[in-house]
Amino acid sequence: MGKVEIHTFDVDAVNSAANRQLYKSREPIYPKLAHGKFRKIKWALLFVTLGIYYVLPWIRWDRGPDSPNQAVLVDFTNGRFYFFNIEIWPDELYLLSGLLILSALVLFFVTSVFGRLWCGYSCPQTVWTDLFIAIERFVEGDRNKRMRLAQQKWNADKITKKIIKHSLWLLIAMATGGAWVLYFHDAPTILHHLFVGKAPATAYLFIGILTFTTYSLAGLMREQVCTYMCPWPRIQAAMTDSETFSIGYYFGRGEPRGKHKKNESWEGRGDCIDCKACVAVCPMGIDIREGDQLECINCGLCADACDDIMKKVGRPTGLIAYGAQYREGVKHDKRRLPNLLRGRTIFYGLLIIIVSTLMLVSLTGRSSVEVNVERNRAPAYTILSDGSVRNAVSVSILNKHNQPTDYRLTVTGDEALQIQAVGHQFEGNQLLLTVDGGDLQRIRIFFTLPKQKWADIQARDLAVEVTNVETGESVIRELTMVGKS
Amino acid sequence: MSEESKKEIDEVTGVETVGHEWDGIKELNNPLPRWWLNIMYFLILVSVIYWVLMPAWPGRHDVTHGLRNYSERVEVTKQVEAMQNARAEKAQRLLQAASLEEIENDPELFEFASALGKITFADNCAMCHGSGGQGAIGYPNLNDDVWLWGGKIEDIRYTIAHGIRSGDPKSRNSLMPAYGKAGILQKNQINDLVNYVRSLSGMDVDEEAAARAAPLFKAQCSVCHGVDGTGNRMFGAPNLTDEEWLFGGDEESIRYTITNARNAVMPNWNGRFDDATITSLAVYVHTLGGGE
């Protein structure tokens, strides 16, 4: 092997519980670049998640001439949400609530099995912070250079570097806000309008807000968002247990820790050489060797850093690794794999199955026509001069197709029942109607029952059926006439 | 200097007092936080700017108008004008429409007339005729098929525009005499008439009394109500043979009607609404269900 240099880092875990104080001003963290499999996964996920975020609004999806051709679009003006072949109307917003409930349950499930994978790999706060740190590293250099730069007096070099860094941050922050707006408008049009100043004021406002939040949250506040502002680290404590697959330090193997000179025996001591590489790479400023902590986002960078060192000193990797939680004072012989079938994982799993089944049923069972039969209330009934009883109702037909559709309205009731509609002519008990695409048509209909028929209670029952002439899809609404008893 | 030297420091808190004392309690001179005071100064500045820009101070005859010369009354007038301009085209089309069919067959126009009619009805007519035109004792139900003065759209429009016994020169007018009060008929005659009138719509009556009143009805009532009692729309005389009783069909109510007469009044609305609004009201009332 020849010369292997093991660098020991002069680093304090600034957010370690021992250093915790209320009202303490933030101590800057200069995370060192880690190399290894988890870092690679993080880079890959960074590209995938940011890629989805920036590219998704540009994907086109043909829905015919009357609808927007953007695959994912929240159209507030017309009250529509488009997601590929799914189109959601305002009255179906429960589907979005369902989706949020499902997302929350999946998050609970993943957290109870794998710990805070969401925090470590796919939370926007983590992803953008990672990106901003990468830019900082690109402009100012890695940990030591950055620390030196921070200590250094303000000179041309420092000013240039800071200006470049903050400009790049601001550009990305603006792109973040800009891409957000694309989800609410036709992407190519709004992009053009943004540059020529024709976009609506809300678009500029939201770009402004998101530029500010991205810049300050990912650039300036970073780990403080997770530690102080986010409720999830608190909630996740209720999701995880000793079987949760999360990052941890293998106490049994590492302790007692201490400096190790080359060719010294490993007998009677732990594998941890106290080089603090794990602390130096940590973006949260903690020491994983103190056990599972609220600040830990489970990102695995400390495992990468430690594996690197272990290879160099010729010991097996995995001193810091994902596994069922390691506890101080418990001597595990080897890395412990978690037991997946536990009460909480089964519970969350079942809930996910139930909720997604319900959602699937309601999503596929959606009707393309919405029918409401509303009774007139003042007066609830009218007695005509010959003593016959009349009820007035408003029938509303909402056509959820994007093109005009023909509907047949059929009233079934007693044969003595007379049917009239304002502005329309019933043929027998049927009425043909054309409703424009996406339109609501309201018709006032009168049902009249002759005086002598009124005594027959069964004659008072009737049904209104609205049938799509082309597809045969139909909706039935039943009602009973009211009047003097 | 001598004032200052008198300043007293409170022993317990170490804070200077303002020098006032009530029943042995001394007020401490704790100043407001600086930022708070600064906000107050800033707001004072804002109020001065406001006086310059906006109407603020009352004068003897007028108020200061401010540089922006803003007036809520002018704003509202503008908005009303804008609304009327926006309606003008449809209102014009509505007035030119020859018949109700023409309005009903033009969905846009029908929607406009119904909507305008509906809000106008709710604001002006509902207090007597009810929110859905259901009427009340003495106030006709507009949903049924009984029309004292006619239920065609032109008839309804005329009634709304000119009213009933409203004082408008073209008002619908008629006057039923107060037979009892004016001493035209005696109590027993009125009692007989009540039985006769009730018999017309097939209610249980004293047959003898009703028979006694038949010639009386012919002499006194048939001029307006018709020989068979089916009424006459020319005089707004109700049909006495149907099931509808505007002021009640029980003996007491009918006796009161014959003795004192009712002669209800509906105001004329032509002074208050423009022609398009009155037409819209007529369309709305017609579509309530009773229109002919």
pLDDT, tens digit, 9 for 90 and up, residues B163-181 = 999 999 999 999 999 999 9
Predicted confidence (pLDDT) at residue A485 exceeds the cutoff of 60:
yes
Q: What is the pLDDT of residue B1?
A: 40
Tell me, what's the pLDDT at A50? 94
Closest chain A residue by Cα to residue B285: A422
Residue A428 belongs to some domain of the structure: yes
Judge whether A422 is closer than 8 Å to chain B, CB to CB: yes
List the single best residue of A381, A383, A425 to mutate versus B (max B Cβ within 10 A).
A383
Q: Number of Cβ pairs closer than 8 Å across A and B? A: 53
Asked if B132 lies within 8 A of A387 by C-beta distance, the reply is no
Distance CA A55, CA A473 (A): 38
Min Cα distance A386 → chain B (Å) is 6
Question: Whole domain around residue A447: which residue ranges?
Answer: 369-480
Architecture label for domain B187-260:
Orthogonal Bundle (1.10)
Which residues sit opposite B278 in a β-bridge?
Answer: none
* Total of domains in chain A: 1
Q: Check CB contact of A361 with chain B, cutoff 8 Å.
A: no
Residues in chain A with CB shorter than 8 Å from the CB of B290 are 382
Structure confidence at residue B278 (pLDDT):
94
Which residues 6+ apart lie within 8 Å of A326 measured at CB?
Answer: A248, A249, A250, A251, A252, A291, A332, A336
- Say if A404 falls within a structural domain: yes
Of A378, A384, A422, which is closest to B134 when you measure between CB atoms? Answer: A378
Mean pLDDT score, A442-464: 90
DSSP one-letter code for B238: P
Check CB contact under 8 Å for A390 and B289.
Answer: yes
Within an 8 Å CB–CB cutoff, is residue A444 touching chain B?
yes
Mark A140-149 as b/e (b = at least 16 C-beta within 10 Å). Answer: beebeebbeb
> pLDDT confidence of B35, banded at 50, 70, 90?
confident
Cα A252 from Cα A23, distance rounded (Å): 36
Q: Give the mean model confidence (pLDDT) for residues A318-339.
A: 71
Give the residue with greater pLDDT, B209 vs A334.
Answer: B209
Q: Is residue A420 part of a domain?
A: yes
At residue A332, the pLDDT reads 62
pLDDT at residue number B4: 52
Q: What is the pLDDT of residue B103?
A: 86
CB contact under 8 A, A423 and B130: no
Q: Which residue would you say has higher pLDDT here, A408 or A327?
A: A408
> B134 to chain A, minimum CA–CA distance in Å?
5
**Cis peptide preceding A124, ω within 30 of 0:** no
User: Which positions in chain B touch A446 (Cβ < 8 Å)?
Assistant: 289
CA dist., res. A77 & res. A73, Å (int): 11
Phi then psi for residue A59, to 5 deg, are: -70, 135
The reported pLDDT for the residue numbered A21 is 62
Instruction: Please tell me what DSSP assigns to residue B287.
Output: I
CB environment A50-63: b (16+ within 10 A), e (fewer):
beebeeebeeeeeb
CA distance B152 to chain A (A): 14
When CB atoms are compared, the residue of B110, B131, B239 closest to A423 is: B110
Task: Please answer yes or no on whether B146 and A383 come within 8 Å at the CB atom.
Answer: no
Q: What is the pLDDT of residue A248?
A: 86
* SS3 label, residue B65: coil
Q: Determine the residue of chain A that is closest to B132 in CA distance.
A: A378
pLDDT at A326: 65
- Of B226, B258, B255, nearest to B242 by C-alpha is B226
For position A377, what pLDDT does the model report?
A: 87
Asked if domains B100-171+266-290 and B187-260 share a fold, the reply is yes
Question: Is A447:A390 a contact under the CB 8 Å cutoff?
Answer: yes
Residues of B at the A interface (Cβ-Cβ below 8 Å)?
104-105, 107, 110, 130-135, 141, 143-146, 239, 242-244, 287-290
CATH code of the domain in which A459 resides: 2.60.40.10
Q: Which one, of A213, A218, A42, lies nearest residue A136 by Cα?
A: A218
Is residue A161 less than 8 Å (CB to CB) from chain B?
no
Taking residues A372-383, report their average pLDDT.
Answer: 90
What distance in Å separates the CA atoms of residue B239 and residue B232, rounded to the nearest whole number?
7
Q: Please, are residues A298 and A221 in contact by the beta-carbon 8 Å criterion? A: no
CB contact under 8 A, A385 and B143: no
Nearest to B239 among A378, A385, A444 (CB): A385
- Asked whether the beta carbons of residue B104 and residue A387 sit closer than 8 angstroms, the reply is no
At A263, is the pLDDT very low, low, confident or very high (cuts 50, 70, 90)?
confident
Whether B143 and A392 lie within 8 Å, measured CB to CB = yes
**Nearest CA-CA distance, residue B287 and chain A, Å:** 6
3-state SS string over chain A?
CCCCCCCCCCCCCCCCHHHCCCCCCCCCCCCCCCCCHHHHHHHHHHHHHHHHHHHHHHCECCCCCCCCCECEEEECCCCEEEECCEEECHHHCHHHHHHHHHHHHHHHHHHHHHCCHHHHHHCHHHHHHHHHHHHHHHHHCCHHHHHHHHHCCCCHHHHHHHHHHHHHHHHHHHHHHHHHHHCCCCHHHHHHHHHHCCCCHHHHHHHHHHHHHHHHHHHHHCHHHHHHHCCHHHHHHHHCCCCCEEEEECHHHHCCCCCCCCCCCCCCCCCCCCCCHHHHHCCCCCCHHHCCCCCCCCCCHHHHHHHHHHHHHCCCCCCEEEEECCCCCCCCCCCCCCCCCCHHHHHHHHHHHHHHHHHHHHHHCCCCEEEEEEECCCCCCEECCCCCEEEEEEEEEEECCCCCEEEEEEEECCCCCEEEECCECCECCEEEEEECCCCEEEEEEEEEECHHHHCCHHHHEEEEEEEECCCCCEEEEEEECCCCC
In percent, the amount of chain A with pLDDT more than 70 equals: 94
For residue A1, is pLDDT > 60?
A: no
* Contact yes or no for A227/A233 (Cβ under 8 A): yes
Preferred mutation among A375, A376, A381, A384 to probe B, highest tally of B CBs within 10 A:
A384
Q: Does A425 touch chain B (CB under 8 A)?
A: no
pLDDT in tens, B80-115: 999 889 888 888 888 888 787 888 888 888 889 999
Interface residue of B125, B134, B146 to substitute, partner A, most A CBs within 10 Å? B134
What pLDDT is recorded for position B47?
96
Give the number of other Cβ atoms within 10 Å of residue A416's Cβ. 14
> Is the per-residue pLDDT at A66 higher than 80?
no
**A-chain residue closest to B145, CA distance:** A384
Q: Select from A379, A383, A446 the Cβ nearest to the Cβ of B132.
A: A379
Percent of chain B with pLDDT over 90: 67
Q: What is the model's pLDDT at position A5?
A: 64
Is-contact A170 A135, C-beta < 8 A? no
Domain parsing of chain B, residue ranges: 100-171+266-290, 187-260
Q: What pLDDT, on a 0 to 100 scale, did the predictor assign at position A2?
A: 45
**Best of A422, A425, A436, A444 to disrupt the B interface by mutation (most B CBs within 10 Å)?**
A422
- The alpha-carbon gap from A384 to the nearest alpha carbon of chain B, in Å, equals 5
Predicted complex ipTM:
0.74
- Whether residue A4 has pLDDT greater than 70: no
CATH topology (fold) of B100-171+266-290: Cytochrome Bc1 Complex; Chain D, domain 2 (1.10.760)
pLDDT digit string (tens) for A173-222?
999 999 999 999 999 999 999 999 888 999 999 999 999 999 999 999 88
**Residue of higher predicted confidence among B5 and A439:** A439
- Among chain B residues, the shortest Cα distance to A441 is held by B107
Query: What confidence tens digit (pLDDT) does each residue in B47-79 have?
Result: 999 999 999 999 899 889 999 989 999 999 999
Write out residues 384-413 of A within 8 Å (CB-CB) of B: 384-387, 390, 392
In chain B, the residue whose alpha carbon lies closest to the alpha carbon of A420 is B289
